[in-house]
Structure 1
Amino acid sequence: MSRLTTTIAIAAIAASLAAQESQPTQHATERERAGQLSVGYTDILDTYLSQEKFTGTEFGYLSQSLSRRDSSHIVRETVHHVLVGVAGTRGNDNSLLTLLYNLRLGWMYRWHWAAPRLTLLAGGAIDGTLGGAYDTRNSNNPAQARIALSIDPTARLSWQLRTGRHPLALHYDVTLPLIGMAFSPNYGQSYYEIFSRGNYDHNIVCTSPFSAPQLYQHLSVDFRLWRTTFRVGYLGEYRQMKANNLKYHQYTHSITLGWCY
């Protein structure tokens, strides 16, 4: 009887150890999230709508999320960016209304140096933009759509430092679209021809740094105040495209203010 009991006990211990080994190891996930509001100056040219430049104010909301397992060097990034602008020409104030939504999904490799407390992330992202512009004073071609998809090299450099007892973190994010596709009407082509009559005229164009040079850069600093980590910075976005004998640019310089959570 004692031998049977011993055998059963040994079998139970072995089964327990085997079950523990078969269970996947749980890894902690490191996350960084921030939400930021922005306001800034915008300069817009769209020759489909007008030969004149529009200048005005742009408001935005930027949500950025970074996550990494403690056993991995790969960092996943998700960025949601909503932009609303009001601009005008010399003769027509606030006549152009713009709305853009940008989604970026990225994967970056992480390098960390403990001595200078520097962290470098570098990799690539899938970048999609959807939105449009509406000119309230233009009866001929009053609206223009913005639809684009691209593959972007992206990078982030972070530096942790202290000023006295107060910790600070400096960040620089940069993204450069490399290759992709975008929608564009042709010169003199109306949206009625495209969507109602189905007259396709090279309306899906390839984009590259030669035909659509663009740049996204964000310089920010994190600081602690009232038990909350705030983030303040400068955001510069430069969107350009030449396609179908049309020119487009939208340059924006913004101040951002938000919080990390």
Structure 2
Amino acid sequence: MNKTTCLMFLFLCLALPLMAQSGEDEAPRSVNESTMVGIGGYNLRDTYLSPSTDINYTGWVARVLNERMKVVRLAGYNVSRQQLINVEFGSTRNGAETANEYAGFVDYSLGYHYRFPQALPGLKVLTGASARLSGGFIYNTRNSNNPVSGKADFDLNLSAMAIYNFKIAEFPLTLRYQAEIPFAGVLFSVHKGEPYYFLTQGSADGVVRFSSFHNKFAMKNYFTLDVPVSNFTIRVGYLNSMYRTDVNSIKTHVLSNSFMIGLVKEFVSFGGKRLRGQAHRYKSAYY
């Protein structure tokens, strides 16, 4: 419990302003929001469900990803806030075609990135930290005693992003790459061979573990391209996600590669005198 409190305190410290704040914002800051759907390949392995460490279940994954970015009042308006909500469901089958595994996960991420001065025209470089809360399950159709492996994680992550605005024959495009990797957190895991009903009997020792590079490696690589089409902006992308843990004698990996497509909108939320006086002025966190 002390480790969890320390981790939460560390993240709060990372989110504190680095410079003094001004009283009023000169112009409203817009919100850049996208909603994307994707489909791709899935690779699962969990030795709680399948004792052999060389049995992989492969198949497909479908996901919905919602993202919001906005410039906030930190470090003299040089910090962007990013919120990500990801919902995914996958269906896989083992190589012998004798069993299926299904998996579902929901995660929420809140991050703050410092925006460095432009080194090149049109290029934004952002670095920072984020916190992510995730929960889900892996279900094996062949098991009768222990068919489900539950997952829950809280992570503190290092995050970096590059956004490049450019034109091809006067046609504006925006390319983005983002990488995120956890360096500390806590996760839930029962012990190998232990049924989940033991938790209701008060046998919960050791099921919440500190996680870092010694027992967990996870990384996300995210590429997107924004293409304006008529009155819409289409965002296409590729998401590579890796999750590996080795905790309580249980090895797990969840690997996926998804191709994404969706729509982007940019909007400003303000009213009253500011709405009438600054209706055509805003500062984007993304473009």
Q: TM-score range by the shorter chain?
A: 0.7 to 0.9
Distance in 2 of aligned mates of 1:206 and 1:55: 29
1:206 is matched with 210
Q: Percent identity at matched positions?
A: 24
The yes-or-no answer on 1:156 pairing with 2:161 is yes
What per-residue deviation string (whole Å, max 9, x for no partner) do you get for residues 158-211 of structure 1?
0000000210110001110110000001011110112x2111231111111221
2:48 is matched with 48
**CA drift at 1:251:** 0.8
Moved over 4 A (4+): none
**CA drift at 1:114:** 7.2
* Amino acid across the alignment from 1:168: L
Distance in 2 of aligned mates of 1:91 and 1:198: 38
Which structure 2 residues correspond to residues 226-245 of structure 1 after superposition, within 5 A?
226-245=230-249
Larger radius of gyration: 1
Distance in 1 of aligned mates of 2:92 and 2:120: 47
Distance in 2 of aligned mates of 1:85 and 1:178: 26
1:176 is matched with 181
Distance in 1 of aligned mates of 2:43 and 2:210: 24
The yes-or-no answer on 1:31 pairing with 2:31 is yes
Contact 1:153 1:176 in 2 (8 A): yes
2:65 is matched with 62
Cα distance change, pair 220–248 in 1 and its aligned pair in 2 (3 A) = same
5+ residue gaps, structure 2, are 1-22, 266-287
Cα distance change, pair 219–48 in 1 and its aligned pair in 2 (3 A) = same
Contact 2:129 2:156 in 1 (8 A): yes
TM-score by length of structure 1 reads: 0.87
What per-residue deviation string (whole Å, max 9, x for no partner) do you get for residues 135-164 of structure 1?
122112100111000100111100000000
Distance in 2 of aligned mates of 1:214 and 1:116: 33
Contact 1:57 1:87 in 2 (8 A): yes
- Stretch deviating more after TM superposition (76-85 or 63-72): 63-72
SS of the residue 2:217 aligns to: coil
SS of the residue 1:113 aligns to: coil
Contact 1:56 1:94 in 2 (8 A): no
* Amino acid across the alignment from 2:153: A
Which structure 2 residues correspond to residues 1-261 of structure 1 after superposition, within 5 A?
25-26=24-25, 27-50=27-50, 51=52, 52-69=55-72, 72-92=77-97, 95-113=100-118, 115-194=120-199, 196-261=200-265
Distance in 2 of aligned mates of 1:212 and 1:30: 37
| RMSD, aligned CA | 1.6
Larger RCO (CA under 8 A, 6+ residues apart) = 2
2:10 is matched with none
What per-residue deviation string (whole Å, max 9, x for no partner) do you get for residues 65-117 of structure 1?
10014850011110000011111112346721111001000111112417521
2:282 is matched with none
**CA drift at 1:31:** 2.1
TM-score by length of structure 2 reads: 0.79
Distance in 2 of aligned mates of 1:93 and 1:120: 48
SS of the residue 1:214 aligns to: strand
2:283 is matched with none
Instruction: Report the count of equivalent residues.
Output: 237
Distance in 1 of aligned mates of 2:103 and 2:72: 39
